[in-house]
A = this chain, B = another copy of it.
Amino acid sequence: MLKQIDRDLIELLAKKIAFLREANLKGINVEETSDMSQLLEQMGVPEFVWKNITLNCVAASQSYNQSTLPVKPKRITIIGGSGKMGRFFTLVFQEAGHQVSILEHQDWHKAPELIGKAELVLVCVNIEHTLTVVEKAAPYLTPSTILAEITSFKTTIVPKLLELHSGPVVSLHPMFGPGVTSFLSQNVIVCGGRQLEACQWILDLIERQGGQLTFCSIAEHDRMMAVVQGMRHFAVFGLGVFLAQEKVNLERSLEFASPLYRLQLDMIGRLFATDGSLSLKMMLSLFERRQFIGRLGATYHHLAQLVAEQDKIALEQEFETTRHFFREQVDRAVEETDYIINSLGVLLADGKSEIDQSQKDSNNNNTRQAA
């Protein structure tokens, strides 16, 4: 019974996605079929379910655009293709119809074949090894081979790449990590390089799969990364250290959580899921970045003093100045956080397992007596 409903649903979804994709390719703007609210109410389907399906189908129609476009298969070798980002790129290129080979550290005897005959060599190894690997690969590169890499520190990498290879070079910085399953709505920075016109097919592929390209200089890249990586990591790191110092009962705090606190705690947990080396690098690399974080620490210190001294007037002043600075961000921020808060609610509705619930009930019974 449910299985048949599911089959029928999938068939209809396929139709809807195909319809949107075609309209998209033809440049037709499909207007929201806005007058479904009456039907939804009548059928007992909550609005949020329908809104989410609409969003998902639009996203699907955009991320799968490439499948309808003809592709000339390229020979691609991914050095470090078995790592997390390597696997992502392998999949993405294969789905687009290209022929992908992987070169791991035990495979260097195949370098003449795998590198010498490749049209694109993409280096996906850990950032510490990027330059060593490129040095090792360089002798096998032909002048027409595209050399590409994806590290997050461009100052040391890009000039060296240009030195080691005389042909096309493209330095990418995908602003996402493992867990993301497609380029859809993800930012990819293109930071310097050479003969970018020869690399255009790579950039096109990213865009066709819904990725957002941004071109910038090394200087702008580093400046922005101080904010996007340095500041964010430090802010989250600091909260984690503080919660550990204060020995806050994290499990119990989730029962008191607002959706945004839960998200905040999730972000901290995610940061500490790694071994820290990348996080510390994001904070410690580059003198400017260390200075930047130093100033952030000073700001927090100053504001915390104002709080401790109960200096309401000074805090109100800070609030007003900042509110003015953020005025153009507010509408988007509220819209996106509303959506995320409701999405999280949907996920949790499914995830509240029996174990969670019984755990919680026993907690409550204890405190119900204590209260």
Contacts and interface: CB of A to CB of B under 8 A. Distances in A.
Given A13-B45, A303-B297, A180 B342 contact: yes
A328 interface: yes
A348 B182 CA distance: 13
A interface residue count range (under 10 / 10 to 19 / 20 to 34 / 35 or more): 35 or more
Interface in A11-39: 11-19, 30, 33, 36, 39
A175 interface: yes
Nearest to A354: B29
A15 to B, nearest CB: 5
Interface string A291-333: 1111111111111110110101001101111110110111011
B55 A350 contact: yes
Interface stretch (A105-113, A116-124, A221-229): A221-229
Contacts of A234: 303-304, 307
B227 A253 contact: yes
Interface stretch (A76-84, A126-134, A260-268): A260-268
A340 B50 contact: no
B175 A272 contact: no
Given A238-B300, A340-B340, A57 B64 contact: no
A224 B256 contact: yes
A33 B14 contact: no
B319 A276 contact: yes
Contacts of A320: 276
A147 interface: no
A1 interface: yes
Nearest to A217: B371
Contact of A215 (B228, B349, B371): B371
B303 A307 contact: no
